[in-house]
Amino acid sequence: MTDEKSRVQVSIRIRPLLKIDKNDKPIVHPLDETSLSLSDDKKAPKSYQFDHVLCGDQQSVYETIGRPMLEEAYKGFNVCLFAYGQTGSGKTYSLLGDISDEEKQGVAPRFVQELFDEAQRRVDEDTDLTIKVSLSMIEVYMEKVRDLLAPRQRGQEPEALEIHEDSNRRVYVKDASVHQVLGSERTMQLLRKGNANRQTAETKMNETSSRSHAIVQIAVTQEFATLEKKDLECTISLVDLAGSERQTKTESSGQHFEEAKKINHSLLMLGRALNSFSERKGNADSFISLRESKLTRLLSESFGGNSKTWMLATVSPTAYNAYETISTLDYASNAKAITNQVKVNSGLRSLELKELKMVVSILEKRLENVGRTRDAKQIELARLEEECQAMRAALQTAHSQELIKSKLQSACTRIREGNGMLRKRIEAASSGVMWPLDNIGAPLFFKGRCGISLKSVFLGQKCTFRIPIKADNGQGTTCKLIVQLFPVGENTTECTSGATVVGSDVRFVLHIVGAEGLPPNCSAHALCLVSLLNGKCSEFFSTITSENTTCPNWNYVRQFELGNVTSDIIDNYSSRDLFCFEIFWILGVK
C-alpha cells in the first residue's frame, strides 16, 4: 500500500488563571481559534499560528484532538498524541485528568471509552469482524525505561528495561508487559495503576510534578473471518512528557535537581530532533541522532516515521512564565513543520492464517472425494470378480480353449492391477492419507488433534506433557505432541488447590517443543496450528513448518496472562481443554 504524507497537527491550550496568578499579569491572549498573541512589556507583541488554540473544557479538547485520532486509528493508521509544556501548565490534566470524574477526564480516558464504543458498533454491524485491544504503559525516569504496570515491591527499585528494534527497524521495549483488555473499565483500571506508579514529586511550581515521561501504547487489531476484507492493525501512543523547568524557579536540589537535569536533557534532545525533522529548515540543519536519549528513540516513529501525530502544547498565560511560554511556542512551531510518511497497516499474519485455513478446507474436501472414490472402486472390484466367475464358467463350455485362455489372462491382469491400486487407496483413506487418483496429483496428508487444560498451571506445577494425537475419526495414532506448560511470575509455588490464585493475575508460558512418531510417508512438511478457546473469542496461531523429519522440533514459546482469576475460571479451565492443537503432516504435490 502506498505511503502518504501527514503533517504533525499542533494545538495550544492556554491554562486559565489560578489563585497563585492573582498578582501576575496575563500576556498570552487568543486571537481566534487558530492564533494567539504574546504581549510582553519588554518586546513588541508577537502572534503565533497553529492548527488550534484551545481555551475550553476537557470535552472540547477531546473533540478537537481525540476524536480525529480515533477515526484515523480505525482506518489502520498508527496515531500518536504527546503533551508538552512547562511544569504546572496542565499537560497531565489535559491528557489524563481525573479518570474517576467524567467531567474532568482528559483525552486518554475519553479516547478509551469511545474506542470500545466504536468497536462494539463495528462488531454489531459486521459479524465477520473481531477486534482485539492490548495495552502497555512505560515511563522514562532518569534515562531509565520502566514498566508502570509491572508488579512492584515496596522499597525496591523497579527493573530497568532495554530498547530494541525488530526486523522492520521498529522500536520496542523488551520485557514490557502487554495486557489484553476486553472493555473500557479494565483499561481505566490499568491507566489508574500506571499513573499511580509514576515518579512524581512536589516542587515550588507544582505540588505533583511528574518527574518522568510516560508513554501509553494501545494496540488495536481488526480481524475479518473472510479473505475478501483485509485485516487492519494500528498502534495508538499517548505521551505525557515531564514538565520543562528552570532550577531558579523550582528551587530544586539534591535528587530533584538531578531529575530536572535528566528531564531537561531529554527534552533538549527531543527539541533538536524536532528542529532537524522540520521541513522549513531545509537541508542546512545537521543530522540529529535519535539515539541521543531514550525519549527520542522511543518517539522515533512519531516524527518522520509511520504515524499520524498530534501535539498538545500547554502554556501558562502569565508574565512570570514568559520565558517558558515562548520556549514552548517555539517548540510547537518546529513540530508543526514536520511531515511524516504514513501508511495503512495490514495484518499480514492473520491473512496467512486465513489462507492456511482455506488450504486445510480444500484438503479435507479432497479427502472426502477419496472416500467416495474408494466406494466406487469397491463396486468396480465386485463387478470384476463377477466377471471373473462368469469367464471361469464360460471356460468349461467354450469350444476354443486358446481364445478363452487369452480372455481370461487379460481379465485377470486387469483385476490384479485394479486390486493393487484399490488396496493402496483404501489403506491410505483409512489412515487419513490421500493417494493420487486417476493420474491427478494430490499431497499425502495426515491431520491429528489433541488438547490440554490449565490444571497444572493453577497448581503451580512446571510440567512436560507427551500428548497422544488422535486422527479426525477418533482412532489413536503412534504420534505424540511434546508440550511444556508452566506458570511464571512471583507467585509460582506448587499447591494442592487452585483456590490459592483466586483474585490474582496468572501468567504462564506455553512451549510447543515438537512432536514424535510422525508417519514416515508424511514427513516432508509438518506444522502445529493452535486454537485458544477462551469462551468469548477464539485466537489462532501456528508454529513454523519443519521439513523432512518424523520428529519435528518447533520450539514455539508464547506467554499468556489471565487477569483477576475467579474460582469459576479455575474450574472451567481445569476441567476442559483451553488449547486445541491440530497437527498437519504433508508429503507434497507431485
The grid coordinates listed for 427 are: 489403506
Binding residues: 85-92
Closest C-alpha among 376, 370, 413, 364 to residue 391 = 413
218-240 per-residue burial string, b: 16 or more CB within 10 A, e: under 16 = bbbbbbbeeeeeebbbbbbbbbb
d(CA 338, CA 170): 20
User: 559 forms bridges with which residues in the sheet?
Assistant: 509
Q: Where are the beta strands (DSSP E) in 298-365?
A: 308-315, 339-342
Residues 6+ positions from 255 with CB-CB distance below 8 Å: none
**Coil/strand/helix, residue 350:** helix
Binding residues for ATP: 85-92
d(CA 240, CA 57): 19
- Beta-strand pair 308-315/9-14: parallel
Residues 6+ positions from 238 with CB-CB distance below 8 Å: 80, 81, 82, 95, 107, 108, 111, 215, 216, 217, 218
Q: At what angle do helices 254-277 and 322-336 cross, to 10 degrees?
A: 40
Residue 484, H or E segment:
strand 476-488
Residues 6+ positions from 205 with CB-CB distance below 8 Å: 86, 87, 88, 243, 245, 249, 250
For residue 313, count other CB atoms closer than 10 A to its CB: 26
